Structure 1
């Protein structure tokens, strides 16, 4: 018996096996990577407005699609204890004021528990859920919501009503800028499941956009269509990755995306939203820009306008 020739069946078998090994290893690495970046722990902020609970169907369907556990959070405003001191009463605050606020908080806890109980009846098969109360003061809502969101892969937050209290927007800003975790912000009164088949990525080469792109990969991998949209800007740093480079990056992650460049506009947010309407996108992916000024978060202009005007869910990260 000499050296196996290429005509030997055993030789052909091993040759085919060795040739196939790199592809097997690539698929194995892809499966491991998908497992690493999977969405398995969701946080949903429940606002019990009427019987429909805006955003709840979205959260439930997203949890089902990813096999994720869902934590439903309800915000309960506590009364600042310093206002219940004798000095406060001497200053004009009456015991009835304190009692009414405490009573209101307890009534809201009851409403929140009942809302979760009703929501639990709609749990899809295979989805587990729990309820958590966030006890917070108006001035610390942002910090408390940010700390809570750190323990989850993704937060889902419906936009608060413009008629609501001033601190309601702090839920969004706290989770976005205080958690280092991504957030899906839903339009006000959003109803319906998580339809995320067509994605539009708003790309400007900045660090927040990069964070949003990386964090959204589990959703982009499942999307049927992904469009990367760049607003032409002469002021962009030459070192920032351009749209074509991002397409190559996504392709290496198994995401086949297309590039769309739109002209620079005075109102960049409206230009992006117009493009989203033209492409019939289901959701947007973008970086959140903002800075703190005297403990108050000041949104970047485009970020603020997108949140105010968008009729689509926005996946955001900072």
Structure 2
């Protein structure tokens, strides 16, 4: 599979331009058509607020919305022309329904990480989870970057030069690994990381001296002509796998993490915590997730 059709979600948030620039760079590298959907991830309840907020307030909101949309649309088409790419622009009132409908026609979806300080972050997180679980396509999450710290280049000029794949041989991880093959084919370096936690006494949770961790999937990737470095990590019992994964990404300086999303039941991850929730909340580099 190659990425030939990429769908990026945009909204009024200030990091939306960073997200768009990442999508443009990925589209350029893979020779893909880029479709942009401009729509709020969190729906505005105009009818509910109309009783407590006056018409002038809503008129001002709509003017600001249109100003933001026009500026981003202009930037989108200007960058398409500069990079000699093809693309389409679409505006919708609410993102979720429209995005899921159009996801069926995309090879890759680009979304943004929620702003942890946003009062609507929990609603945005639900939107992200719904897309990952229902779209049936890989989702590339772009970390939230405060505008004051985002360089003019867009913050993530290189995505996919150094790829790190989190591997646990599960269904979601398998889907993510194969969905990320287009990135790995173009990468300078790919590392496959497995995690074998240790017990309190220092012994490994499970160990088979006759097996090399991830050897089988490494052989599968070799048949695709890919050279992959396999690393087995042994985090202590006090360090969750999600934290160990983020620490490894920071240590190696990778520019793309690939992982399965919601390998356990989503309600368990939301209530008890999980790798997906940890990474979505604290990612520092783009993350490709599949379910």
TM over 0.5: yes
> Conserved in 2, the CA contact under 8 Å of 1:72 and 1:131?
yes
| C-alpha distance in structure 1 between counterparts of 2:206 and 2:102, whole Å | 37
Deviation at 1:50, TM superposition (A): 4.4
| C-alpha distance in structure 2 between counterparts of 1:50 and 1:206, whole Å | 36
| C-alpha distance in structure 2 between counterparts of 1:261 and 1:50, whole Å | 38
Q: Residue 284 of structure 1 aligns to a residue in which SS? A: strand
| C-alpha distance in structure 1 between counterparts of 2:96 and 2:117, whole Å | 19
Q: Does 1:284 align with 2:263?
A: no
| C-alpha distance in structure 2 between counterparts of 1:285 and 1:154, whole Å | 13
Distance 1:132 1:300, change over 3 A: farther
Residue 222 of structure 1 corresponds to 186
Q: Does 1:61 align with 2:25?
A: yes
Q: RCO (CA 8 Å, sep 6+): is it higher in 1 or 2? A: 2
Residue 273 of structure 1 corresponds to 246
- Partner deviation per Cα, 1:86-107 (whole Å, 9 max, x = no partner): xxxxxx9638568855763564
Residue 158 of structure 1 corresponds to 112
Residue 185 of structure 1 corresponds to 141
Residue 175 of structure 1 corresponds to 131
Q: Residue 316 of structure 1 aligns to a residue in which SS? A: strand
Match runs of 1:28-67 below 5 Å? 37-50=1-14, 53-67=17-31
Q: Does 1:260 align with 2:214?
A: no
Distance 1:97 1:244, change over 3 A: farther
Q: Does 1:135 align with 2:93?
A: yes
When the two structures are aligned, how many residues end up with a matched partner? 266
- Partner deviation per Cα, 1:235-275 (whole Å, 9 max, x = no partner): 699xxx95011110100011110110000433111212222
Residue 201 of structure 2 corresponds to none
| C-alpha distance in structure 2 between counterparts of 1:145 and 1:297, whole Å | 23
Contiguous gaps of at least 5 residues in structure 1: 1-36, 85-91
Choose from 72, 86, 89 the match for 1:115: 72
Q: Does 1:72 align with 2:39?
A: no
> Conserved in 2, the CA contact under 8 Å of 1:146 and 1:176?
no
Deviation at 1:197, TM superposition (A): 1.1
Distance 1:208 1:158, change over 3 A: same
Superposition TM-score, scaled by structure 2 size: 0.79
Deviation at 1:291, TM superposition (A): 3.7
Distance 1:207 1:61, change over 3 A: same
| C-alpha distance in structure 2 between counterparts of 1:80 and 1:74, whole Å | 18
Q: Which runs of 4+ in 1 moved over 6 A?
A: 296-299
| C-alpha distance in structure 1 between counterparts of 2:126 and 2:26, whole Å | 24
Superposition TM-score, scaled by structure 1 size: 0.73
Choose from 125, 141, 165 the match for 1:201: 165
> Conserved in 2, the CA contact under 8 Å of 1:198 and 1:226?
yes
| C-alpha distance in structure 1 between counterparts of 2:92 and 2:14, whole Å | 20
| C-alpha distance in structure 2 between counterparts of 1:50 and 1:80, whole Å | 21
Distance 1:104 1:93, change over 3 A: closer
Structure number with greater Rg is: 1
Contiguous gaps of at least 5 residues in structure 2: 198-204
| C-alpha distance in structure 1 between counterparts of 2:248 and 2:180, whole Å | 20
